[in-house]
């Protein structure tokens, strides 16, 4: 089933919303921003500093890289003490859906 695609950094959450995201996507965008890719690195202001997407869309790609949907899963790194927390999408673009 199709799920909304992440387009804004604030839609990624690991205890707190992401403040920014480093992306390589400069081609495909919606009204709210560029579509997030599995290779994007979300950055957080709180204890988790950066994140990595581990599971993304299986059938929808931008520049041969899977897009991040609301069903995506990731891990965010916490620097001290070294650990990790789960990262998920809390808000995707309702007008753009992918599988």
- For 24-56, what is each residue's pLDDT tens digit? 999 999 999 999 999 999 999 988 899 999 999
pTM of the model: 0.92
Task: Tell me what pLDDT residue 47 has.
Answer: 87
User: Average of pLDDT values for 68-95?
Assistant: 95
CB atoms within 10 A of CB 39: 16
At residue 96, does pLDDT exceed 90?
A: yes
Average pLDDT, the chain: 95
User: Average of pLDDT values for 47-66?
Assistant: 96
For 58-88, the three-class secondary structure string (H helix, E strand, C coil) is CCCEECCEEECECCCEEEEEECCCCEEEEEE
Cα 19 versus chain centre, distance: 12
CB atoms within 10 A of CB 90: 11
Domains in the chain (CATH in brackets) are 3-93 (2.60.200)
């Amino acid at each position: 089933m199709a799920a909304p695609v992440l387009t804004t950094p604030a839609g990624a959450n690991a205890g707190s919303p992401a403040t920014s995201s480093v992306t390589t996507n400069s081609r495909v965008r919606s009204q709210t921003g560029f579509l997030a890719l599995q290779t994007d690195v979300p950055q957080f202001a709180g204890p988790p500093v950066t994140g990595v997407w581990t599971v993304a869309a299986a059938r929808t790609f931008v520049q041969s890289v899977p897009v991040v949907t609301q069903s995506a899963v990731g891990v965010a790194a916490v620097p001290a003490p070294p650990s990790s927390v789960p990262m998920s999408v809390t808000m995707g673009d309702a007008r753009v859906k992918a599988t």
